[in-house]
Amino acid sequence: MLIAFAPAPNLTTYRTTATPVQSNSVLPAASESKAASKRIAIVIDDFGNGMTGTAEMMKLPFPFTIAVMPFMPTTKSDAETAHKLGHDVIVHMPMEPNKGKKEWLGPGALTTDLPDSEIRKRVEAAIDNVPFAVGMNNHMGSKVTADERVMRIVLQVCKEHGLFFLDSRTTFKTVIPKVAAELNVPLVSNDVFLDDVYSVAHISKQIGILRKHLEEHEKCVAIGHVGPSGKKTAAVLLSSTPSLRENGVIVKVSELVRRTGDQQILP
Which residues fall within 8 angstroms of residue 179, CB to CB, at 6 or more apart? 148, 151, 152, 155, 185
What pLDDT shows up at residue 263? 36
So where are the chain's domains? 30-252
What pLDDT shows up at residue 106? 84
**Half-sphere exposure at residue 172, Cβ-oriented, CA atoms within 13 angstroms:** 3
Sign of CA dihedral 66, 61, 220, 201: negative
Strand partners, 88: 65
Count of Cβ atoms closer than 10 Å to residue 172 Cβ: 9
Query: 119 near 153, Cβ under 8 Å?
Result: yes
191 by DSSP, 3-state: which? coil
What's the rounded Cα separation, in Å, for the pair 245 and 35? 7
> Any long-range contacts for 227-231 (C-beta under 8 Å, 24+ apart)?
227/4, 227/5, 227/46, 227/51, 227/52, 227/53, 228/4, 228/52, 228/198, 229/7, 229/53, 229/195, 229/198, 229/203, 230/51, 230/52, 230/53, 230/54, 230/56, 230/57, 231/52, 231/53, 231/56
Mean pLDDT by 10 residues, the chain (267 residues): 40 38 49 74 97 97 98 98 98 93 84 97 98 97 96 98 97 96 97 96 98 96 97 98 96 79 35
> pTM score, two decimals?
0.85
What pLDDT shows up at residue 262? 43
Count of Cβ atoms closer than 10 Å to residue 239 Cβ: 12
What pLDDT shows up at residue 101? 73
Count of Cβ atoms closer than 10 Å to residue 105 Cβ: 22
Q: In CATH, what is the architecture of 30-252?
A: Alpha-Beta Barrel (3.20)
List C-alpha distances in Å: 119 to 95, 108, 136, 200.
11, 9, 15, 38
